[in-house]
Amino acid sequence: MTPRDALIAAIEKAGGQTGLARVCGCTQGAVWQMLNKGEAQLSHQFVLKVEAATGISRQDLRPDIYPLEVAA
């Protein structure tokens, strides 16, 4: 799953862009920008809130910040 796919899944689980905006404490327009601008990934400041609300892992949402840990 790409970070964009994870963001889309989070939007769907939250009930749309407005629902995800409520989870994040931002505007629907900010969610739209995260989805449609640049690399299409969730802003780092919202990752843990979105993970808690939607069940989508932080590793899927932002693998650049939260890489999967490899077992020894």
User: What are the residue ranges spanned by the domains of the chain?
Assistant: 3-61
Q: What is the percent of the chain where pLDDT is above 90?
A: 85
- Mean pLDDT over 64-69 rounds to 89
Q: Vertex 44, ends 48 and 59: CA angle to 5°?
A: 60
HSE-CB of 47 using CA atoms within 13 angstroms: 16
Taking the C-alpha atoms of residue 55 and residue 48, their distance in angstroms, rounded to an integer, is 10
What superfamily does domain 3-61 belong to in CATH? lambda repressor-like DNA-binding domains (1.10.260.40)
What is residue 16's predicted lDDT score, i.e. its pLDDT? 97
Average pLDDT, the chain: 93
What is residue 71's predicted lDDT score, i.e. its pLDDT? 61
Model confidence at 72: pLDDT above 80 = no
